[in-house]
Structure 1
Amino acid sequence: MRNEYVQAVLAVVRLVPPGSAVSYGDVAELLGSGGPRQIGSVMSHHGGGVPWWRVLKASGHVPEGHEAEALILYLEEGTALLGDFSSYLRTGEGRWRVDLAAARWAPTESDFDSIDAIAGQLERSLHRLSVADDGMIL
């Protein structure tokens, strides 16, 4: 995966505010590039330095193995949750997920300006790389 794409995904994720969440597909749609699997791959390999817990499966579930850490962060941030998270905290048992309908990030006009700048830079970078890959002189 190209570094330009990784950096663009991470830049969009950094914009998601505390208490909000997006799906992998939401990030791809905002960026105008890739799809949920590509976003998931970026987050899996490079997402440790950004608020990774704010990017979820479309079902609102956290990536497997990160439930306990993410739940604490959601509770600290006041993220809307569904299910038996209090039992999960006490015993490690119980199913819960983020209420993505309630917690889904609604970017402001300023956020969209930032997203457009990120997406535009990515598009220009990928275009330059595509032209260079075709053997043309830039």
Structure 2
Amino acid sequence: MRMDYVEAVLELVALIPEGAAVAYGDVAELLGSGGARQVGSVMSHHGSTVPWWRVLKASGDAPPGHEREAIALYIVEGTPLLGSYADYLRTGEGRWRVDITAARWAPSDGEFGRIDAIAGRLGRSSPKVSAPDDEMTV
């Protein structure tokens, strides 16, 4: 995998604010390059220096093997959750996930400018898709 792609993914992930989340495919779409699997590979090999817990499967499931650490971070940050996360914290049992619809990061115009600069270094520009309620749709 090209190091410029790795660096672009990590730089974009660093922009995601507390309490927000995106799917792997959202990162690829914002960069205009790669796909969910490529972003997942970058995150699994290089993501420890950025807020890795804010990038998840489209289902809202935390990165496999990191559920306990991730849920603690989600709670501290106020990330919207679904399911029996209180049971999971207490007993290690129960299913939960991030409410990706409620938590999905909607970059501001300024953030889109930074994303475009990151994507531009890859030779692409990010797609800015406007929705009536100013939420990012991918």
In 1, Cα distance between equivalents of 2:107 and 2:46: 23
CA deviations on 1:99-124 (whole Å, 9 max, x unpaired) are 00000000000000000000001227
> What TM-score do the two structures reach when normalised by structure 1?
0.89
Higher helix share: 1
In structure 1, what is the equivalent of residue 24 of structure 2?
24
In structure 1, what is the equivalent of residue 76 of structure 2?
76
> What TM-score do the two structures reach when normalised by structure 2?
0.89
In 1, Cα distance between equivalents of 2:10 and 2:75: 23
In 2, Cα distance between equivalents of 1:115 and 1:36: 17
In structure 1, what is the equivalent of residue 86 of structure 2?
86
Q: Does 1:113 align with 2:110?
A: no
Matches within 5 A, 1:19-58: 19-58=19-58
In structure 2, the gaps of 5 or more residues are 125-138
CA deviations on 1:55-86 (whole Å, 9 max, x unpaired) are 00000001111000000000000000000000
CA deviations on 1:30-62 (whole Å, 9 max, x unpaired) are 000000000000000000000000000000001
Larger Rg: 1
In structure 1, the gaps of 5 or more residues are 125-138
In structure 2, what is the equivalent of residue 15 of structure 1?
15
- Give 1:89's aligned amino acid: L
| Structure 1 consecutive aligned stretches of length 4 or more whose deviation exceeds 3 Å | none
In structure 1, what is the equivalent of residue 97 of structure 2?
97
In 1, Cα distance between equivalents of 2:34 and 2:113: 20
Q: Aligned pair count? A: 124
In 2, Cα distance between equivalents of 1:42 and 1:64: 15
Question: Over aligned residue pairs, what C-alpha RMSD do you find?
Answer: 0.8
- Give 1:7's aligned amino acid: E
Percent identity for Structure 1 against Structure 2 = 70
In 1, Cα distance between equivalents of 2:109 and 2:7: 22
